[in-house]
Structure 1
């Protein structure tokens, strides 16, 4: 295998092909969704041959898994690890950063003797669980009576806002944030809410 080979337009391609594929995938996955983006389109946009693409990634699932890992390896650390925000503010800030587009669940079940899962699908499940867990942790810090339930409710709200945004091509997160504020206030006991308001007023 040579270091350089010709891409679909006859240009010489170097070892930056992997980064170009990932960069293009970030744009296309966000614009039209993961399931609607095919390898042929990705290769054409990245100006690499399919042979080159499959030298870097065994298939689309591996490419999607790598894309998701790069999107946020620590699960929205820019929100949940901020020390300048109160726990309630962190819960609401999660709606300021739309999550990455995740692949839809496969409609056909795997073979009964299958013991492996596609890496992208597995990462999508793990990512969604991790987001709900981090929301629950912040809800617990905020004084929610049932932080796990609030975490799941907010995670579901984020998923719904992401899906609506993609389908309608209109940002649904501001409306979701308004609903989230109601859920958060209803889930936090009055005493905890009073403490939180005093904390926010003192900042």
Structure 2
């Protein structure tokens, strides 16, 4: 594993487990077993590092969502939670901890959320025979995001309930 990959992986793990504000640069350098000079060579600031971590996570998460049905979408979410964690959405946590005021972080968060919304709209179009039902896509997005939030205290099994609600909405839209 190269140095940058190790840094991003370590930072993501610490940010996910402890939060962004509670994870200081000293903790990062110790956990990544690198000097602060090396850390700053790969990330000019903590905000830059947070943005890089979120971009990498976005790429991994959206690859997991390369699916074409509502059932598969929620299956992918449940699988993500079982493999990665049920600690809530790291993007929303970053946005919340920074108040949305740090532009380089806010841009990554909003781009991720736009990508997720677009993916759900694409699946809804596929599942409804080409109908661009943005209201339905928004409802499914809310179920998806809600399942992510509720899983924090109820576990990944709640995704099945959200999936059932999304499928019911989709079936209603088809009729």
TM-score using structure 1 length: 0.65
Aligned partner (choices 67, 74, 89) of residue 92 of structure 1? 74
**1:2-24, Cα deviation, whole Å (9 max, x unpaired):** xxxxxxxxxxxxx9443321121
Contact conserved, 2:71 with 2:163, CA < 8 A, in 1? no
2 CA distance for matches of 1:38 and 1:165?
27
Aligned partner (choices 115, 118, 136) of residue 133 of structure 1? 118
Contact conserved, 2:71 with 2:167, CA < 8 A, in 1? no
**1:47-102, Cα deviation, whole Å (9 max, x unpaired):** 2232321121111221122222222427523333x4xxx62323322432248611
Aligned to 1:70: 56
* Distance apart, 1:151 and its partner CA: 2.5
Aligned residue for 2:161, secondary structure, equals helix
TM-score using structure 2 length: 0.73
1 CA distance for matches of 2:6 and 2:63?
25
Which consecutive aligned stretches of 4+ in structure 1 deviate over 4 angstroms post-superposition? none
2 CA distance for matches of 1:164 and 1:33?
18
2 CA distance for matches of 1:90 and 1:69?
23
1 CA distance for matches of 2:121 and 2:171?
12
Tell me, which stretches of 5 or more residues in structure 1 are unaligned?
A: 1-14, 111-116, 194-203
The equivalences for 1:39-118 within 5 A come to 39-73=25-59, 76-80=62-66, 82=67, 87-96=69-78, 97-98=80-81, 101-102=90-91, 103-105=94-96, 106-107=98-99, 118=103
Which structure has the highest helix share of the two? 2
* Distance apart, 1:46 and its partner CA: 0.9
Number of residues of Structure 1 aligned to a counterpart in Structure 2: 164
Pick 1 or 2: higher relative contact order, CA cutoff 8 A, min separation 6: 2
